[in-house]
Structure 1
Amino acid sequence: MLDPHRLRIFRSVIANGSIQAAASQLGYTPSAVSQQVALLQRETGLTLFERSGRGIVPTSYGKALAVESDEVIASLSRLSGVVADLRDGVTGRLTMGYFASAGSSWVPRMARKLMDEFPQLRLDLILNEFPDGQQSIHPDIDVIVQSRYYERPLPTGYRQQHLADDPYVAVVHQEHPFAGRAAVSLAELRDEIWVDNDFANGMCRHVIMGACDAAGFTPRFQVQAQDHFTAIAFVAEGIGVTVLPGLAARKLPHTVRAIPVVDPEPVRQISVLIKESIVHRPIGQRAVELLLQCVATPEAAL
Structure 2
Amino acid sequence: MLDPHRLVILRAVISAGSVHGAAAGLHLTPATVSQHLRVLARQTGLVLFEKSGRGIEATPAALHLAEESTRALADLERLDRTVADLRVGRAERITFSCFASVAQAWMPHVVGVLRTASPTTVVEISINELHPSGGRRQPDIEIRNEALESDPVNLNGYQRHVLIEEELHLVLPANHPLCVQEVVEMVQLRDEPWIDHDINDGPTGQIIARACTTAGFTPRYVARLDDHHSALSLAAAALGVTVIPSIALTGMPDNLSVRSLAGPTVGRRIVAFTRAHRVRARLIHTALTALREIADQPRAPHTRRVDQL
The aligned residue for residue 95 of structure 2 is: 95
The alpha-carbon deviation at position 106 of structure 1 amounts to: 0.9
5+ residue gaps in structure 1?
A: none
The aligned residue for residue 282 of structure 1 is: 282
The aligned residue for residue 18 of structure 1 is: 18
CA distance in 2, matches of 1:154, 1:25: 47
1:5-154 → structure 2 map (5 Å cutoff): 5-129=5-129, 136-138=133-135, 139-148=137-146, 154=154
The alpha-carbon deviation at position 14 of structure 1 amounts to: 1.7
1:144-183 → structure 2 map (5 Å cutoff): 144-148=142-146, 154-183=154-183
2:177 is paired with a residue whose SS is coil
Q: What amino acid is aligned across from residue 117 of structure 2 in structure 1?
A: E
Change (3 A) 1:220 1:206: same
1:69 is paired with a residue whose SS is helix
Contact 1:163 1:295 in 2 (8 A): yes
Q: Identity percentage over the alignment?
A: 35
Q: What amino acid is aligned across from residue 15 of structure 2 in structure 1?
A: A
The alpha-carbon deviation at position 159 of structure 1 amounts to: 2.1
Change (3 A) 1:291 1:278: farther
CA distance in 1, matches of 2:116, 2:12: 38
Deviates more, 1:58-67 or 1:198-207: 198-207
| 1:238-257 deviation per Cα after TM superposition (whole angstroms, max 9, x unaligned) | 22221221222233211111
Change (3 A) 1:140 1:161: same
Contact 1:130 1:202 in 2 (8 A): no
The aligned residue for residue 257 of structure 2 is: 257
CA distance in 2, matches of 1:114, 1:105: 16
1:178 is paired with a residue whose SS is helix
CA distance in 1, matches of 2:157, 2:19: 45
5+ residue gaps in structure 2?
A: 300-309
1:6 is paired with a residue whose SS is helix
The alpha-carbon deviation at position 179 of structure 1 amounts to: 1.7
The alpha-carbon deviation at position 157 of structure 1 amounts to: 2.1
| 1:128-160 deviation per Cα after TM superposition (whole angstroms, max 9, x unaligned) | 2069xxx54334322122214955863332222
Q: What is the root-mean-square deviation in Å for CA atoms of aligned residues?
A: 2.2
| 1:258-294 deviation per Cα after TM superposition (whole angstroms, max 9, x unaligned) | 1111231111111112221169711100111111111
The aligned residue for residue 231 of structure 2 is: 231
The aligned residue for residue 214 of structure 1 is: 214
Q: What amino acid is aligned across from residue 142 of structure 1 in structure 2?
A: D
| 1:52-91 deviation per Cα after TM superposition (whole angstroms, max 9, x unaligned) | 2222221111001001111111111111122222222112
The alpha-carbon deviation at position 119 of structure 1 amounts to: 0.9
